[in-house]
Structure 1
Amino acid sequence: MVNCWGLLTSQEEPVPLKSVEVELEVRDHVATVVSTLNYENKEDKLLEAVFVFPLPGDAAVCHFSAKIGQTEIVAEVKEKQKAREEYDDALSSGREVFLLEESDQSPDIFSLSVGSLRPGESASIRLEYITELAVQADEGLRFCLPAVLNPRYQPRGSKDVCIQVTSVPASLVPYSLSFSARVSSPRPVSKVESNCPLDALQYLNTEQTQAMVKMAAGHKFDRDVELLIYYKDAHQPTAVVEAGQASAKPGTLMGDPVVMLSLYPEFPQAVMSSDASCAEFVFLLDRSGSMAGSRIKCARVFIIVPLTHLPMGCYFNIYSFGSSYEHIFPKSVEYNEKTMEEALKKVNTMGGDLEGTEILTPLEHIYSQPCISSQPRQLFVFTDGEVRNTKEVINLVKRNSGSHRCFSFGIGKAASSALINGLAKEGGGHAQFITGTDRMEPKVMQSLRFALQPTVVDISVKWDLPKGVSVTALSPPITALFDGQRSLVYAQLTGQSSEAVEGCVTVKYSLAGHPSQNQLHFSLKPAEDTGLTVHRLAARTLIRSLEKEEGERGGEQDGEVKKKVVELSVQSGVSSAFTAFIAVNKGDGKAIQGPLVLRNVPTPSEYIFPRTNLKARNPSRSTTVFMFKTVAYSQLSFHVFHCGSIGHQLTPREDLLQLVSLQKASGCWVLDPALAAALGKTSKEVKNTKPSAVSHLWATILALIWLHGFKMDAQEEWKLLAMKAVSWLRAQNASVTDVSEPQFLDAEITAVINDAK
């Protein structure tokens, strides 16, 4: 019989983790997260508890401490191997000890080991990390608190040195979660949304630049906690200068002021008005076992959106993968009516029947294909990121970054932020996350628009500072810019000036052969009450760059780069791949006696999984590739290639997708019952308004009228589609003159809109 009062694993073992408390503080677009994990040993045995959990891949852990009774122990950052040895020594001597470290395989997975927890004893562990918030397609800033550590697919033949982690249904997770968020910004906070129930947003000042929100009581830890934060006039460049640490030596990163720039480049409209129409697009559809059933049907929706918006004259191909991979065409083909219909027909028959999730092999094949002359290669990756070889996949993209751009999408609540962000960063593209009931179309369209923009080259950053002040760049060189998309730059300021208190930074670049630049003037006066957040984010950025350099060198030169990482990590108190946080309670010096029992803390999931292995601490041209792996959207009950009967009432999302799916590759629509149904009309109603001998022309005009009349709120989703339709109309000049006088079109358009209303 199960003992219901205790905290139990699926093996009916007591679990010492009782609750998790999370406090989020967001300042503009930077988040500080403080998590408090409360443990209690209700057994009569000495325990070691192991909790494996995800964090954002670009997060930097900057504080770790434990409180036992009235004794607080602040952890130190040490070289990882030394920290592990110290942890083992403390365990063997019966001392209370705590170890926090990131996985050797992926920077978004951390393990927390609580060693020698005495019978009846409680411990409170405080974990603090900082992270930048990603900007979404609708200009919201996204924060995600991961709740799930799903089983990660391990490629065949890979080595496995692991610990066991229990995954149980969220309803059976024995520990509770409380969550609160405080938001502040120079600009007013317009709203805060979440996929979880929240109490009402409370403004803390009359300017509405500060606000607070809490999670509603009774929330089950059954999903990621996702927050979307919206500011007024969000796309404004900003600069924050943070004073150095008083106790740190001047001239060091922590001792000098650090500046963080948020840049939003604006491209010349003369260049942007003619989007690039040539590219090679490759779609890679995930057909692993988890995609079977309704998921694979919903994944097809992802193909409609980009395929129907592609410009004539480009090239494309569609790959699908699992444990093996397939492709529809032997090589990329020219995009036209015939190839588009053939591709969609084959995609519509695909199922989730290719077992595993091996992304590396199809990517290797794609990169082995020669680039097509004058067709820039863009790589779009749609995946849930459930892989073990994250670093290997990212390194492959990086090695091929000179021949393509990579746009990545994390699908579902278990997507690895390390993988998704890493692919986009190393591939010079843009990352997106789609979870819960998110509408994927705006995000897909935003990335597609980015992919159709000319590649920005010759990017440089020039600083203009007062005499006596010098600058040291801490961020890697900017390799990708997109119109209106944020770029972050960190730099260390050394020296002082008694003259001007203002600096200027200029970003220069070449876009489609046109030299351009954007400037930002900023105050050198340090901002108030920023703590050391900017310094630690800058340290994190520099550490990640050095870690990549170390990986490329393969440990050469006696680990010179690794030594720099360890030194910087220890100096800044920021986690790295080569360090760990270690805290030992030396107390009164008396060792704890008795055998040590291991307890693994379960993580929540939708289903009961067997114990799953996770890595432990002791072991210039651009093809567009779309990888798909989605969550099920039950509201999409229609088939995108089969229109319902005339008069069928579609949801706002369904009717737009239905119309989109009917557009031909050339950009036109056909006047038939399917189009009439999409417009909410009968065939007779549509045909009665048609001028003679202009069927396709009239159908296309009606579709554009409907989009402008009823779907302006979703304009970003069909903007490219409409541009393609208008281009087709302009090419039909001869036919337009057959529609009587120009006033005829105006009268008919007005009549159709009025009738529709």
Structure 2
Amino acid sequence: MRSLAYAVCLVASSAGALLTPGALQAQGVLVITNENIRLPRPTPRPQPISYSLDEVVVEATLKNQLADVQVSQTFRNSGTGTIQAQFVFPLPYDGAIDAMTLLVNGKELPAKLMKADEARDRYQSIVRSQKDPALLEWVGTGMFQTSVFPIPAGESRTVSIHYSQLLRKDHELTEFLFPLSTAKYTSTSVKKVRVQLAIESDTNIKNIYSPTHDVSIQRPTGKRATVKYEKQNIVPSSDFRLFYDAKPGDVSAKLLTYRPERDEDGYFLLLATPEIKADKDKKQSKTVIFVVDKSGSMAGKKIEQARDAAKFILNNLHEGDLFNIVSYDSKVQSFLPELEVFDKRSRQEALAYVDSLFAGGGTNIHEALTTALSGLQDKSQPSYVLFMTDGRPTSGETKEALIAEAARQANGVRARVMSFGVGYDVNSRLLDRISSDHHGLSEYVRPDQDIEEHVAKVFNRISSPVMTNVKISYEFDKSKPGKPVNRVYPGGDVDLFEGEQLVIVGRYREFGAAKIQLTGTVQEKEETLSFEGKFTKKVGNSSNSFIEKLWATRRIGEIIDELDLKGKNEELVNELVMLSTKHGILTPYTSFLADETVRPELASSSNRRLTTSNLSDLEEAEGRGGFLQRGIKQRFKNANNSASDASESLRTLDEFKSRPASGGTLSGPAPGRSLSRQQPSSPLPPNGGGAGFGSSAQVNSPTSETAPVDYQKIVRKAGTQTVYKRGKLLVTPETASLDLEKEEDKAKVIEIKRYSKEYFELTDANSTAENEVLTLQEEDEELLVKFRGKIYLIK
């Protein structure tokens, strides 16, 4: 699928008018009409800024498959000369655009509409003249090209674009697409990006999902919804995509599939928004126990925030809910000996109890957990334990395995435990183990973050359960032996809450029509919701390729979780390396993929050994290293779109690599430690139990600090493809093992010079996804890539 990608093409009125190409490329592609002037793509070196994009605002109304879109962009010329600017818009959906107008400071500009064949020549002429492949990904689309307008030095221009568009619809899912992916062409950030969509429908709106961005969704009525996305000082890395559907009925569940290879398992995404027909006069009650740490380390601001978190829960329980508060230090106390029915009286008494909580003493996690869980007796309604701690167990039973086992024995009602780790001193592995055993989740609160915000976020989600212990089954018309659907995440039973949407990803072996059933408990009665779906045999285009990446992200989180909690497993290590390499998903254990000093031909053979060595860091159950590792793991496991594993995970990864040394059986790295330089002390041991990878690994750390790694410069992504920078050579996972110094490997390679006749013949034969890979190659780099069974070295 083509995006309505916009490019800003800038021409200079004189050779000296344009000062900083890096800044000017913030919007896309630079075109210079002056002869003998060629502007290189941005380099990591700092450059003075002469031109910036201050703001991008996208506002659209989506109704009956039509989009009315208004785009406003403010450009500022901070240079000393006038810039002559020209806009080029590749048209999406084979030109399904109507009534496009463009205004500069309120004045309409004339423009030319080119069909795909004419536009192809224009695209290629820009690529050829500028020695920049950025526009290659749009070859094959039409083009809307404006006339030239000036931006005087020191002034700003607001460019407004208005157009109507017929949106694509597939399997009753309507898709809205808008280009925000400037990251491939810029080293500067956009000061503000805001997208606001108003969805209107004649029938109830059900599923709303963005595979690319973390959006906020508000539903004032069943037939209206507002979707918002806003960020400041960012370089957007992907186009904005949104799916939604509207239909009458009790359940709207939509199935999207992606199967690039017929002989391999495909990938599926299931979106489900059931409309539960519950008795409105009989709201589903729940049981909530808040377990709050009041040990000595909670003194000061932390105990104040913990009290505020408890008060938030008490102010948001529903009348008729059962609740209790368990507080602990060296000893354990409860608000009441037994669960209490929530009403105005019990609320006031509980608030007074919370005000009496003060910090002091040790940390008796064992007794606090067993006290809370053993107090739950009613299996007929959903039960949730919100367990908070800021430290490791120091009183009572302190052994991790025994604490976890005692908690399992005490939980007789299948209560879900939501764990909150506050600060770096927690035993994060213990919290993850408890959350996993009790079908909950772990939330980690940094020292500078507010405890109440994290507790409120989780509590708001679970406050109104509508269908609990939900199981999902898949019945195919023609089923073969074995599981037709496998490796589904999240796995196991789930609870569905009011206003929540299920986002399920998995792999499928069978293809064809299938009945998908959601079975769960609604107000103590079992209910089943059914719908039909179709699993495709093979998908020829890559428009749904994001499903594979989302599945891989969650799968990586599950693999790390299993290695963390169950111990060594060679098959899982191999799969972790394969998925990380294929998709460019960096983890603390595969960050060596961003080490461009590793020779490509050696990387494949050493990846597993390096990963095995790095996985020894999971021995850090406590401290900052353990906190950061398990925070990254949880983000992978709970990812809902491609934005979930990007910037925040990379920042945490960089923080993890530069953390100070820690004690224990495995020394933590010195500041600036390069994970890629770890040397495993021995081959991977046989599969066995236990948590972690033993203490025999030796870590070789540099003594001096190293510069931060520019991950996105070394690991580059385009669609479903990943490219790794190794010096001046770019390689893909398919070509990384080739050694160009060996004659047998060199003989397999076809050499092509960039921007030659052969180069453009190759681009004509390529798919959009293949041409996107070519856009990742910068000046003075060589690209080793495999297209349609042939290996090319593009120089």
Tell whether the structures are fold-level matches, with TM greater than 0.5. no
Greater RCO (CA < 8 Å, at least 6 residues apart): 1
TM range (shorter): 0.3 to 0.5
TM superposition score normalised by structure 1: 0.40
